């Protein structure tokens, strides 16, 4: 049976990155280490073993990092900004960043792009990959992985995966209490928290709303909440209009899983002739550029998108260089941005 680069690295007690460099003719590996790697590769029947005498000349490139994300229009602005932060770290260090796109259907079946298994890939940074089963499959490849956000049920991934995310609760609770002080009493949530690929971020934002309402002794307005709608349904304008039209009345406030969701629901509400914020106020999350340009501009919670990318890249480089470093679980603070979609 053929072995993998990770198997060789484990046998020699060295990093996967070092083994990959040697087997692919990259620089930065001593001749003695190369010799040991090639001997072990032949012994273990490694499938892509090169002839020891035909190792290519060393290259200044350190290898390729895969940015793996879902093909979804709703998050594109978010992950493009995360990618900027990643590139700002990797490029000066000699790494090439390549993009891998996976569809919802492929993700559900754990059918990853072929590049995931290419020996040139030194590490993977995941955005929007929040299926626990998908994360486990990627971990089992032995390739160093970092995720921005995380699966809703992430506990069994602690210590096996580096996690960079944002703090989700503090500013949700803050805006709920500010709106309650203004007399708002009926709060609903808009955002999918039940699909297979839902991240912990959406769940924590929903939890924060429920916790704040509990402290205020107010119930969640379940009748107007949109908790089961998928991304495709939020993109389906006629579906949203009919869904909202079938409801009796409106809540005072929609707290939304992210800005994109908020903007979709706002458009549907306005199409039905309702006024924002006079009849219903809206709060988003992420502070994408469109949130300041929509009508009315959206109250939101700013996430440091480029900084998340910088942190993910630095974390991955540390993992590549020192594989036995304890796994990271890091949260970045957020900032409340009040705009005209809430009458505060």
Please give the model's pTM, rounded to 2 decimal places.
0.81
Mean residue pLDDT of the chain comes to 88
Looking at residue 113, its pLDDT comes to 87
Q: Where in the chain is CATH 1.10.260?
A: 5-54
- Rounded CA separation 272/250 (Å): 11
- Rounded CA separation 181/38 (Å): 69
Looking at residue 201, its pLDDT comes to 94
Read off the tokens for 54.
Answer: 């035909």
77-90 confidence digits (pLDDT tens): 788 889 999 999 99
Share of the chain above pLDDT 90, in %: 65
Looking at residue 54, its pLDDT comes to 32
Which of the four CATH numbers 1.10.260, 1.10.10, 3.90.220, 3.40.50 does domain 5-54 have? Answer: 1.10.260
The pLDDT confidence band at residue 8, using thresholds 50, 70 and 90, is confident
CATH architecture designation of domain 63-165+305-333: 3-Layer(aba) Sandwich (3.40)
- Nearest to residue 161, comparing CAs of 123, 118, 198? 123
Alpha helices in the chain (DSSP H): 5-12, 16-23, 31-43, 76-90, 104-108, 132-139, 170-181, 200-215, 231-235, 237-245, 259-271, 289-293, 305-321
36-67 confidence digits (pLDDT tens): 776 677 666 554 443 333 333 334 568 899 99
Nearby residues of 105 by Cβ (< 8 Å), 6 or more positions away: none
112-146 confidence digits (pLDDT tens): 988 898 888 999 999 989 999 999 999 999 999 99
Q: Where in the chain is CATH 3.40.50.2300?
A: 63-165+305-333, 170-303
- The CATH code for residues 170-303 is 3.40.50.2300
171-216 confidence digits (pLDDT tens): 999 999 999 999 999 999 999 999 888 899 999 999 999 999 999 9
């Amino acid at each position: 049976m053929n072995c993998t680069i990770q198997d060789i690295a484990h046998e020699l007690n060295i990093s996967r990155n070092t083994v990959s460099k040697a087997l692919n003719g990259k620089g930065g590996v001593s001749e003695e280490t190369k010799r040991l790697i090639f001997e072990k590769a032949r012994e273990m029947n490694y499938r892509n073993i090169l002839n020891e005498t035909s190792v290519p000349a060393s290259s200044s490139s350190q290898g390729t990092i895969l940015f793996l994300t879902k093909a979804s229009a709703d998050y594109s602005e978010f992950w493009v900004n995360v990618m900027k932060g990643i590139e700002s770290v990797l490029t000066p260090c000699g790494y090439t960043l390549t993009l891998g796109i996976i569809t919802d259907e492929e993700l559900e079946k754990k059918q990853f792009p072929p590049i995931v298994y290419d020996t040139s890939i030194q590490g993977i940074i995941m955005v929007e990959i929040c299926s626990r089963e998908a994360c486990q499959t990627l971990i089992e490849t032995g390739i160093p992985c970092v995720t921005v956000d995380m699966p809703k049920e992430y506990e069994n991934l602690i210590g096996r995966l580096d996690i960079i995310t944002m703090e989700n609760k503090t500013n949700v609770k803050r805006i709920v209490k500010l709106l309650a002080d203004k007399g708002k009493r009926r709060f609903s949530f808009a955002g999918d928290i039940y699909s297979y690929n839902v991240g912990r971020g959406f769940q924590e934002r929903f939890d924060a709303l429920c916790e704040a309402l509990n402290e205020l002794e107010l119930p969640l307005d379940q009748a107007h909440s949109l908790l089961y709608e998928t991304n495709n349904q939020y993109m389906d304008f006629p579906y949203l209009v009919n869904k909202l039209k079938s409801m009796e009345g409106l809540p005072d406030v929609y707290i939304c899983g992210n800005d994109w969701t908020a903007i979709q629901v706002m458009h549907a509400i306005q199409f039905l002739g309702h006024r924002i914020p006079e009849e219903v106020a809206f709060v988003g999350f992420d502070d994408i550029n469109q949130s300041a340009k929509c009508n009315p501009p959206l109250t939101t919670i700013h996430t440091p998108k480029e900084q998340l990318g910088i942190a993910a890249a630095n974390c991955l480089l540390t993992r590549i260089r020192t594989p036995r470093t304890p796994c990271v679980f890091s949260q970045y603070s957020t900032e409340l941005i009040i705009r005209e979609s809430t009458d505060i």
